[in-house]
Amino acid sequence: MPVLPSSRDYDQIYRQFRWQIPERYNIGVDMCDRWADAEPGRVALIHARPDGSEDAVTYGWLRETSNRLANVLRAGGVGRGDRVALLLPQSPEVAAIHVAIYKLGCIALPLAVLFGEDALRYRLQNSGAKVLITNAAGAERIAALRNDLPDLRLLLSLDGHGDGALDFKTELARASNDFVPVDTSADDPAVMVYTSGTTGQPKGALHAHRVLLGHLPGIETHHEFLPQPGDRLWTPADWAWAGGLFNVLLPGLHYGVPVVARRFEKFDPEEAFALMARAKIRNAFIPPTALRMLRSAGDPRPRHQIKMRTIGSGGEALGAQTLEWGKSAFGITINEFYGQTECNLVLSGCSALGVTRPGAIGKPVPGHTVAVIDAEGRAVKPGEAGQIAVMRPDPVMFLGYWGKPDATREKFIGDWMTTGDQGVMDEDGYYSFVGRDDDVITSAGFRIGPTEIEDCLIRHPAVALAAAVGKPDELRTEIVKAFIVLKPGVAPSDTLASEIRDFVKTRLSGHEYPREVAFITEMPMTTTGKVIRRLLRERA
């Protein structure tokens, strides 16, 4: 099962590792049917409910449910290459839906429950999704958009009929539980996650079935040779994000390690501690902001019996204080890792291998070739700053941006996939993050592109010009700050600032809205009309 050699020497493991990617491979078969054939009663997921009760979900249930859904989708004219969207919080059904999509040869399009009207409209339009599977709340939001979504043929709701949706359970009950998975290659497209950039709208990063296999060395690195007896995985991150999906749900099911599903309306540190103790969680991916929120709740040991074996964290810098707090609160070293939606988990720490250094984001994960390069694609010397880049081919690397071949080409310098992140590699091979060379805002682990926010801001009737930048924040790394030039005759006020914040919050999402709004009389721009965000960041 494990892909890393048994050695406990990092250099030896890195030298010895070789990819074993089969020509024919299907994520759904790997993460479900393979286990269901051998041990249908094996626990795949633990559904933890807010009232403290738990349901054990087996691989047998996962196979039967996914087979029925695959038959429903096929009967609805959905087939290989079609996009099937999910708008749901963590639940066993989400896992079954992913399995069905992959076994049918379709492309999964996970959508975050935080997304508002504009964000959903754009992603569903751009992807041409034929199907959306959601709940009553999601169906109600989509009902207002149906006229803008001509490709959307089928809407299913886990909560029953309503707002143009068919009842998920009724449709599955009518379908056969026998399904022969489509024969897919490892390079066939399987899943698409939209990622924010600094120019234009978010881009759909399209991944092949091999993306799961590509993640395994990184999973085994920051979870210190997962799977081990008693391991149990959890993350507070939405499974619609690359971190929740690729770092927890899919690999957990692949390894046969139970994954805890728990819906949080809002992250609550005390509830998270209680869940970790009650559900006997041993392994977690917890973004740095969530860790800082846990730290602010105090030492959990007097109140909860938590026995963590590993914690991985990534998406933004963890910080030395949070790293030290993790050691005292959990008795372990939190392993930082690094990657992007386009090519995830390529750098990591691993305390079991002695690969840990405060302030660093680790060393290259076995199987991945990483370097700090200059503008011409040449590796710079240790200690020199440059752009972090990953060499292709690499099984964890994306196939390309959906419908954007030019943007895909621009992501590469030769065979180096550029990340847009400035970093430094030291003499010992540790990588440290220096800063971004673009304008993406990193807030609470989310990568937020300013364009989508600015497009929303200027639709407010009082706004003439708008720019969004990141402002340093102790808890979230950065917060979104909006600089606004008002239309003539409109007076700035605290009430208007609050109205503008809510305007974006309800249309995009709860993590993208500007937490601060500043009114300015003139927007700093270049002669070609581009906003000089550097000046605004300095002002913020």
- Domain of residue 170, CATH code: 3.40.50.12780
Q: Is residue 434 part of a domain?
A: no
Check pLDDT > 60 for residue 527: no
| Tokens found for residue 285 | 């991916």
Q: Is residue 154 part of a domain?
A: yes
CA distance 395 to 137: 36
Q: Is residue 157 part of a domain?
A: yes
| 328-347 confidence digits (pLDDT tens) | 999 999 999 999 999 999 99
pLDDT band at 492 (very low <50, low <70, confident <90, very high): very high
**How far is CA 109 from its chain centroid?**
12
Q: Are 432 and 423 in contact (CB under 8 A)?
A: yes
CA distance 250 to 396: 13
| Tokens found for residue 245 | 């999906």
| Tokens found for residue 118 | 């504009």
What pLDDT was estimated at residue 366? 98
Beta-bridge partner residues of 134: 87, 157
- 464 or 220, which is more confident? 220
**How far is CA 134 from its chain centroid?**
18
Helix runs in 306-350, H state only = 320-330
What pLDDT was estimated at residue 152? 98
User: Hey, is 266 helix, strand or coil?
Assistant: coil
Domain boundary among 179, 209, 239: 209
Q: How many other β-carbons are positioned within 10 Å of the β-carbon of residue 491?
A: 8
Check pLDDT > 80 for residue 119: yes
- Candidates 275, 221, 273, 281; CA nearest to 247 is 221
What pLDDT was estimated at residue 440? 75
The CA angle 149-151-155, to the nearest 5 degrees, is: 75
Q: Where are the beta strands (DSSP E) in 288-415?
A: 310-313, 335-340, 343-348, 363-364, 370-373, 385-391, 400-401, 412-413
- 315 or 273, which is more confident? 273
pLDDT band at 184 (very low <50, low <70, confident <90, very high): very high
Check pLDDT > 70 for residue 77: yes
pLDDT band at 389 (very low <50, low <70, confident <90, very high): very high
Q: Is residue 418 part of a domain?
A: no
What pLDDT was estimated at residue 528? 47
CA distance 177 to 168: 15
Q: Is residue 156 part of a domain?
A: yes
Q: Is residue 324 part of a domain?
A: no
- Candidates 344, 367, 362, 343; CA nearest to 352 is 362
What pLDDT was estimated at residue 234? 98
Domain boundary among 150, 184, 209: 209
The H helix count followed by the E strand count for the chain is 18, 27
Domain boundary among 163, 194, 209: 209
Q: Is residue 531 part of a domain?
A: yes
What pLDDT was estimated at residue 175? 98
**Mean per-residue pLDDT, 254-267:** 94
- Candidates 461, 415, 422, 462; CA nearest to 438 is 422
| % of the chain surpassing 70 pLDDT | 98
Residues near 150 by beta carbon (within 8 Å), at least 6 away in sequence: none
What pLDDT was estimated at residue 270? 93
DSSP 248: I
Q: Is residue 411 part of a domain?
A: no
pTM strictly above 0.85 = yes
CA distances to 193, 465, 495, 504, 517 from 513, rounded to whole Å, are 20, 16, 16, 5, 10
Q: Where are the beta strands (DSSP E) in 426-462?
A: 431-436, 441-443, 446-448
pLDDT band at 301 (very low <50, low <70, confident <90, very high): confident
- What CATH number is attached to the domain comprising 514? 3.30.300.30
**Mean per-residue pLDDT, 509-527:** 86
What pLDDT was estimated at residue 134? 98
Q: Are 437 and 387 in contact (CB under 8 A)?
A: yes
What pLDDT was estimated at residue 533? 81
| 419-446 confidence digits (pLDDT tens) | 998 889 999 999 998 766 667 788 887 8
User: Which residue type occupies 51?
Assistant: D
Number of domains in the chain: 2
Burial of 357-366, coded b for 16+ CB within 10 Å and e otherwise, reads beebbbbbbb
What pLDDT was estimated at residue 365? 98
Structural domain span for residue 509:
441-539
